Chains A and B, each alone.
Chain A
Amino acid sequence: MHNLTLSRRHLLSALGLGTGAAALAACTGPVSASDGGSESASNLRSDFSQAALGEIPSEYSGRTNILFWAPWTGGLFDAMTEQFAMFNESQSDIYAAIESVGGYADLNTAFTAALQAKAVPDMVCFPEMQWLQFYFAGALAPLDPHFDDQWNLDIYLQNFIGESKAGEETFVVPFARSTPLFYYNKSLFNDLGLPVDTQYTWSQLREFGSEIASVSNAGQPIKTFAYSAGDAWFANSWLWAFDGVWSEGFDVMPDEGKVRELMTFANEWVHVDGNAYMAQASHTDFQTGVVAAVHGSTASMRGLTEAVDFELGAAFMPGEVNQPPTVPTGGSGFSMVRTESQERQDATAELLRFLARPEMSGKWHIDSGYVPIVQAAQDEPEVVELHATDPNFTVAIQQLENAQTVAPVNWFNSGTASLSEAFARVTGDNGDVQESIDTLRGEYESLLEDNRDDLEALGV
């Protein structure tokens, strides 16, 4: 038995090494830059199949099944699920399944993994310009062949369609689109005699600080404004208000003085005045009355309206040098994934066409607060009624004329992460402003350089 044990151990060792070597040999062979990444002009990819669909309800069996990975949870996902149910009931050929994968970052990760596994959904929904990296990887199918007189880019709000195209082709139709808004406790502002329903400036809000702090909530002076850890999107509007830009072409922060002014303002508001702060959960603090104002997406409108027990105020983003400031377009749009099936792509196009009906777009606007992205949706009776009864919803639409796509450096996930970190250092840590700018500049420049070829191909 002793000999047998030894031989087994040796055998196991040898096998371990052998299989390890085999595993190494089986790794995907890295390639040089010249032989990777070739793309086909076709809208189909023979080796990309559909990801697992889950159980299909018996009443929808026998239909063409398509799968959408939704980047929403909670109320937004419920609202979207309702639209899918309406689509499935509206016809008898297609069954559209919807699965929540979490948020935008989760979708990014999940879809990236799916591309490696070559088992993908038929439809995805990426924020702003983040679909570009998947376009460059040849993962998305053009939508133009499916357009007709009823469904094409002309029916949408035109501020947002610039983010839909690469070259001459369309890869995104806008859907859950938004802009940032300034939300404030209107009841508190009224009680203190502060102006309401107006265009604020950041300096003006800073001046309100001592007056707002004279009121306490649960034994603490109420703060004026809450920054948070992921403020990159809003920071586009902040800098536009201070008359600066984050990048121009490949030139990062061409006027650094404006950036310094903005960051110094934020730093002093928090660490000198003490009337603003870095919040752990800014909207929770706002709902509970700890802070008088926050910023948020138009998509937060429905949730905040229902959550607060005071009168909610919604205004354009605060200005400073520029009033009102330019605001970034935000939210996401639908893209069709290149798979092996023309039939499923046609079915996906039918779903997109259905969701672009004015009544569906209007319903989504009412249920979520996202802008009514189909122009005709603003004339839907339910939308007209909503705006008559709750003018906050109208603010978002009025601000649309100031909306603009963000600077290329903030098209990328890592760019927005760097910007958020820079502000977190200044507002949360009382970090040195110039040091934060220098760090951000380095990260921005490296990002633009890494993506130079792709960006130049897009005309940046």
Chain B
Amino acid sequence: MTTLLQPVRRPSRARTSAPPRRSSPQLRRRRLTEAALFWALILPNLLAIVVFGYYPTLYNFVLSFTDWDFVQPAPVVVGLDNYIELFQSGSMLMDALRNTAIFVLVAVVGTLFGGMAIGALLAQRLRFSGLVRTLAFAPHMLPGAAVGVLWLFMFDPNYGLSRWLFSMFGMESPHWTTTSDFSLWSITIAYAWQRLGFVAIIYYTAILDLPKDIYEAAALDGARGWPLFRYITLPLLSPVTFFLTVTGIIAAAQTFDIIATLTMGGPGTSSTTLPWMIYDQAFVDFNIGTSAATATVMFVLLLVVTLVQTKYASKQVHYS
């Protein structure tokens, strides 16, 4: 038995005394073919990434040091002025950062909890679970603008679902999209509703794939209910939770269409998030430099958040 536990030693190339073999023409041809195939497959994607990813990002970074209205023939270099202006007190950036943080936090945490609960329920294979699965996933298939319009009707305080719901308790519906107290919540609810089905389906399939033997062992040890979920299911789902958290934060932080249809960032700046501010600065105020500087700030923030998540994941996420 002990010999089985000893590591297998592979012969080291450095220790071999044989001279290096010259590759045969067939081997060279094979390598050439492989290289050609590699380039043929990689080049279109590489070009797409460069043209639609790197170039706009770098161009945006350059524009962030300029003053331009997009109409004049060329931008004018202003150095760090746009960044200084952005971080001055009273700047719209502070409102946008706060709104983005609340929106992302509530939307991501809410959909993770809700999605996990729905996913776990679906995995019970109750009657009509197929239909429920389809219904739960359907909102994710809708374009954001359609979701916005749908919720615009539901939030309408005069004839929307909201009016009916609140009137059941003898209350008046809040003016969801036209008052600052509720506008941010209106976009958060609409967005979370759209994403919930996607998260639920991912959790549902992940739960179905969990190894049965671990559960059988846990059952033998008498584990059930919350402890089973807390100490077995949740850690096993951590790679999925990590994936959904990273993609969820990035997707939520980039939300635009629902805001455009529901509140247009208002009233005032009450529902202005970073993407809306970028749009507003670029295409309402035509301050391209400020808009580009805001986009750069957003890029850096998302990069930092993702790096922190990745570092955390290496310690806390269990892949097996």
Which residues of A pack against B, CB within 8 Å? 4, 8, 12, 15-16, 19-20, 23-24, 26-33, 36-38, 105, 108-109, 112, 115-116, 133-134, 136-139, 218-220, 229, 277-281, 285, 288, 290, 413-414, 417, 421, 424-425, 428-429, 431
Contacts and interface: CB of A to CB of B under 8 A. Distances in A.
A429 B268 contact: yes
Contacts of A431: 180, 268
Interface string B254-283: 000000000010111010000000001001
A177 to B, nearest CB: 24
22 contacts: A4-B34, A16-B46, A16-B50, A23-B58, A24-B58, A28-B75, A30-B66, A30-B74, A33-B76, A36-B74, A36-B76, A108-B283, A112-B71, A112-B283, A133-B71, A134-B71, A137-B73, A280-B175, A290-B159, A413-B286, A414-B285, A429-B270
Contacts of A218: 158-159
B178 interface: yes
A428 B180 CA distance: 8
Interface of B: 31, 34, 38, 42, 46, 49-50, 54-55, 58-59, 61-62, 65-66, 68-77, 152, 155-159, 167, 175, 177-181, 264, 266-268, 270, 280, 283-286
Contacts of A38: 73
Given A32-B77, A278-B175, A116 B70 contact: yes
B286 to A, nearest CB: 7
Contacts of B61: 24
B315 to A, nearest CB: 25
A57 B179 CA distance: 49
B179 A429 contact: yes
Contacts of B65: 30
A26 to B, nearest CB: 8
Contacts of A429: 179-181, 267-268, 270
A137 B72 contact: yes
Contacts of B270: 429
A65 to B, nearest CB: 26
Nearest to B281: A414
A368 to B, nearest CB: 25
B230 to A, nearest CB: 40
Nearest to B78: A30
A138 B283 CA distance: 19
Nearest to B283: A109
A29 B31 CA distance: 42
B54 A19 contact: yes
A32 B158 contact: no
A23 B178 contact: no
B283 A20 contact: no
A421 B266 contact: yes
Nearest to B50: A19
Nearest to A426: B267
B159 A229 contact: no
A59 B226 CA distance: 74
Given A288-B159, A425-B268, A29 B74 contact: yes
Given A30-B62, A288-B159, A413-B284, A428 B179 contact: yes
Contacts of B69: 133
Contacts of B286: 112, 133, 413-414
Nearest to A279: B178
Contacts of A421: 266-268
Q: Which 8 A-B pairs have the closest CB atoms?
A: A23-B55, A424-B267, A137-B71, A414-B285, A36-B74, A278-B178, A30-B75, A24-B58
Contacts of B34: 4
Contacts of B181: 429
Nearest to A218: B159
Contact of A424 (B62, B167, B266): B266
Contacts of A417: 280, 284-285
A23 B65 CA distance: 17
B264 A229 contact: yes
Given A23-B55, A27-B62, A229-B266, A112 B77 contact: no
Contacts of B180: 425, 428-429, 431
A393 B62 CA distance: 53
Given A37-B72, A421-B266, A428 B50 contact: no
A429 B41 CA distance: 56
Nearest to A442: B90
Nearest to B152: A280
Contacts of A229: 178, 264, 266-267
Contacts of B267: 229, 278, 421, 424-425, 428-429
B74 A424 contact: no
Contact of B77 (A19, A30, A109): A30
A257 to B, nearest CB: 24
Contacts of B75: 28, 30-31, 36
A37 B31 contact: no
Contacts of B55: 23, 26
B50 A20 contact: yes
A137 B68 CA distance: 12
Nearest to A424: B267
A124 to B, nearest CB: 13
Contacts of B73: 36-38, 137-138
Given A23-B54, A30-B75, A220-B158, A15 B175 contact: no
B268 A424 contact: yes
A20 B268 contact: no
A224 B115 CA distance: 44
B50 A23 contact: yes
